[in-house]
Structure 1
Amino acid sequence: MTNESNQDRRNFLKTSGLLTGGAILGSLPFASQASNQPSYGYHFSANDTIKVALIGCGGRGKGAAQQALSTKQNIKIVALADAYRDRLDDAYKVLTERGLKAADGSPKVDIPEDHKFVGFDAYKQAIALADVVILASPPGFRPSHFEEAVRQNKHVFMEKPVATDAPGIRRVLAAAEEAKKKKLNVVAGLQRRYQPSYREMVKRIQDGALGDIVGGQVYWVSGGVWHKPRQANQTEMDYQMRNWYYFNWLCGDHITEQHVHNIDVANWVKNSYPVSCQGTGGRQVRNGKDDGEIFDHHIVDFVYADGTTINSQCRHYEGTYSRVDEMFLGTKGKVEGMEKKSSALMGYNGQPIFSYTAKPTDNPYQIEHDELFAAIAKGEYKFADAERTAKSTMTSIMGRMATYSGKMVKWDEALNSQIDLFPDKLAWDAMPKSLPDKDGFYPIAIPGKTITV
Structure 2
Amino acid sequence: MSNKINRKDFLSLTAIAGAASVVSLSPILSACTAAPAAKEVAGKPLKNAGGYIPNLTDKAADGKALKAGLIGCGGRGSGAIADFLRAADNVTITAICDVLPDKVENVRKQLKEKHNIELADENCFVGFDGYQKVIDSGVDVVLCCTPPVFRPEHFRYATEKGVHSFLEKPIAVDSEGYRSCMVTAKQARAKGLSVITGTQRHHQRPYVDSYKKIVEEGLMGEITGGTVYWNGGMLWYKERQPGWSDMEAMVRDWVNWKWLSGDHIVEQHCHNIDVFLWFSGLKPVKATGFGSRQRRVTGDQYDNFSVDFECENGVHFHSMCRQIDGCSNNVSEFLQGTKGSWSSTDFAIRDLEGNILWQWDKEAAEKQFQQHNPYTLEHVNWINHIRSGEPLMQAEEMALSNLASIMGREAAYTGQTVTWDEISAASQGYLPEKLELGKMDMSKYTVAVAGSGK
The TM-score with structure 1 as length reference comes to 0.83
Residue matched to 2:196: 187
Residue matched to 1:450: 453
* TM-fit CA distance, 1:268: 0.8
1:236 maps onto 2:246 in alignment = yes
1:127 to 118, 122, 135: 135
For these two proteins, the number of residue pairs brought into alignment is 390
* TM-fit CA distance, 1:224: 1.6
* TM-fit CA distance, 1:86: 0.4
User: Is the CA contact 2:175–2:424 (under 8 Å) kept in the aligned structure 1?
Assistant: yes
Which structure's CA Rg is the greater one?
A: 2
Partner AA of 1:357 in structure 2: D
Residue matched to 1:345: 349
Give the Cα separation in 1 of the matches to 2:135 and 2:437: 23
* TM-fit CA distance, 1:95: 2.2
User: Is the CA contact 1:30–1:384 (under 8 Å) kept in the aligned structure 2?
Assistant: no
Give the Cα separation in 1 of the matches to 2:448 and 2:286: 20
Higher relative helix content: 2
1:156 to 145, 149, 165: 165
Give the Cα separation in 2 of the matches to 1:315 and 1:376: 38
Partner AA of 1:147 in structure 2: R
1:304 to 306, 311, 332: 311
* TM-fit CA distance, 1:320: 1.1
The CA deviation string for residues 403-446 of structure 1, in whole angstroms up to 9 with x for no partner, is 000000000101111022110110112526xx159xxxx52111
Partner AA of 2:134 in structure 1: A
* TM-fit CA distance, 1:378: 2.7
* TM-fit CA distance, 1:364: 1.0
1:115 to 110, 117, 123: 123
Give the Cα separation in 1 of the matches to 2:139 and 2:121: 16
Residue matched to 1:57: 73
Give the Cα separation in 2 of the matches to 1:29 and 1:260: 23
Residue matched to 1:68: 84
Q: Which runs of 4+ in 1 moved over 2 A?
A: 27-31, 357-362, 377-380
Residue matched to 1:369: 379
Correspondences of 1:273-352 after superposition (within 5 Å): 273-286=283-296, 288=297, 290=298, 292-337=299-344, 342-352=346-356
Partner AA of 2:418 in structure 1: V
SS in 2 for 1:76: strand
1:219 to 188, 205, 229: 229
Residue matched to 2:3: none
Q: Structure 1 349/398 Cα, relative in aligned 2: closer, same or farther at 3 Å?
A: same
SS in 1 for 2:284: coil
User: Is the CA contact 2:100–2:127 (under 8 Å) kept in the aligned structure 1?
Assistant: yes
CA-atom RMSD in angstroms? 1.9
Residue matched to 1:167: 176
Q: Structure 1 29/446 Cα, relative in aligned 2: closer, same or farther at 3 Å?
A: farther
* TM-fit CA distance, 1:30: 6.9
The CA deviation string for residues 36-64 of structure 1, in whole angstroms up to 9 with x for no partner, is xxxxxxxxxxx942100010011111111
Residue matched to 1:401: 410
Partner AA of 1:334 in structure 2: S
Partner AA of 2:426 in structure 1: S
User: Is the CA contact 2:108–2:118 (under 8 Å) kept in the aligned structure 1?
Assistant: no
* TM-fit CA distance, 1:206: 1.6
Partner AA of 1:443 in structure 2: T
Residue matched to 1:252: 262
Give the Cα separation in 2 of the matches to 1:146 and 1:60: 17
Identity, in percent, stands at 38
Give the Cα separation in 1 of the matches to 2:318 and 2:64: 48
The TM-score with structure 2 as length reference comes to 0.83
User: Is the CA contact 2:70–2:96 (under 8 Å) kept in the aligned structure 1?
Assistant: yes
Q: Structure 1 213/89 Cα, relative in aligned 2: closer, same or farther at 3 Å?
A: same
* TM-fit CA distance, 1:234: 2.1
Give the Cα separation in 2 of the matches to 1:99 and 1:394: 37
Any unmatched runs of 5+ in structure 1? Answer: 1-26, 32-46, 101-108
The CA deviation string for residues 363-396 of structure 1, in whole angstroms up to 9 with x for no partner, is 2111111111122223332x10000101100110
Q: Structure 1 99/443 Cα, relative in aligned 2: closer, same or farther at 3 Å?
A: closer
Residue matched to 2:98: 82
Correspondences of 1:139-154 after superposition (within 5 Å): 139-154=148-163
User: Is the CA contact 1:77–1:110 (under 8 Å) kept in the aligned structure 2?
Assistant: no
Any unmatched runs of 5+ in structure 2? Answer: 1-47, 53-62
Correspondences of 1:15-26 after superposition (within 5 Å): none
User: Is the CA contact 2:286–2:310 (under 8 Å) kept in the aligned structure 1?
Assistant: yes
